[in-house]
């Protein structure tokens, strides 16, 4: 896989890690290097809660790289507070499509598929848990083929 990624010029995009702890540290280093002004996504409060719990469980010291403030306190003190999301991401905007939709639109469900269907008229199928592994296995197989990678990259540049 490494050779195929290097040949396709994607070795800086895809990284191989040995453990979850290593992956989270790599993620925090990339986040600090990129220093984004905002986080955008769907249901970010749940994602940030999950990230916070994993950082706490694995006892990762540099957890404050998620925010713009260097914090000396432990993440345990923040993750138990009511305003943990704001303290975890201090100095960055949070753009959450789910919470915005909950404020602006009355719907039965605020899933991404439901929102796309009702508001945008787009049909978006949610992947099942069983299909996720095969989905990414197929994509990694395609990445190992340089011809497919170059055609995928040229489509995305248009």
85-95 residue pLDDT tens: 788 888 999 99
33 vs 97: CA distance, rounded Å = 25
Choose the weakest-confidence range: 1-15, 24-38, 141-155.
141-155
* pLDDT for the residue 138: 55
Greater pLDDT, 154 or 45: 45
Structural domain span for residue 51: 2-156
Rg (CA), the chain: 19
Burial class (CB within 10 angstroms; exposed 0-12, middle 13-18, buried 19+) of 112: middle
Helices and strands: H and E segment counts in the chain: 9, 2
Least confident piece of the model among 21-30, 85-94, 142-151: 142-151
Indicate the pLDDT class of residue 10, thresholds 50, 70 and 90: low
Tokens of 136: 């990414």
Judged against a pLDDT cut of 60, whether residue 156 lies above it is answered with: no
pTM for this prediction: 0.70
Q: Is the pLDDT confidence value at 150 over 90?
A: no
Percent of the chain with pLDDT over 90: 16
| Residues 145, 33, 150: CA angle, nearest 5 degrees | 15
CA dist 81 and 33 (Å) reads: 28
> Could you give the number of structural domains in the chain?
1
Provide the token pair at 53. 């719990």
Distance CA 146, CA 8 (A): 5
Residue 106 has pLDDT above 70, yes or no: yes
Which CATH number does the domain housing residue 71 bear?
A: 3.30.420.10
Q: Give the best-scoring range by mean pLDDT among 96-105, 120-129, 137-146.
A: 96-105
Lowest mean pLDDT, pick from 40-54, 85-99, 117-131 = 117-131
Burial class of residue 91 (count of CB atoms within 10 Å of its CB; 0-12, 13-18, 19+): exposed
CB of 55 closer than 8 Å to CB of 63: yes
Q: Do the Cβ atoms of 140 and 16 come closer than 8 Å?
A: no
Kindly tell me the sign of the dihedral angle through the C-alpha atoms of 144, 146, 150, 152.
Answer: negative
């Amino acid at each position: 896989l490494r050779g195929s990624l290097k040949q396709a010029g994607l070795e800086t995009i895809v990284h191989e890690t040995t453990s979850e702890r290593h992956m989270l540290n790599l993620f925090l280093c990339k986040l600090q290097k990129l220093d984004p002004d905002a986080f955008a996504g769907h249901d970010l409060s749940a994602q940030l809660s999950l990230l916070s719990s994993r950082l706490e469980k694995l006892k990762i010291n540099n957890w404050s790289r998620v925010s713009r403030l260097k914090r000396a306190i432990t993440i345990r003190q923040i993750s138990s507070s009511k305003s943990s999301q704001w303290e975890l991401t201090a100095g960055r905007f949070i753009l959450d499509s789910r919470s915005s939709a909950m404020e602006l639109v009355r719907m039965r469900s605020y899933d991404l598929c439901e929102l796309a269907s009702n508001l945008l008229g787009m049909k978006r199928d949610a992947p099942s848990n069983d299909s996720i592994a095969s989905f990414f296995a197929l994509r990694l197989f395609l990445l190992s083929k340089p011809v497919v990678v170059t055609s995928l990259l040229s489509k995305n540049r248009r």
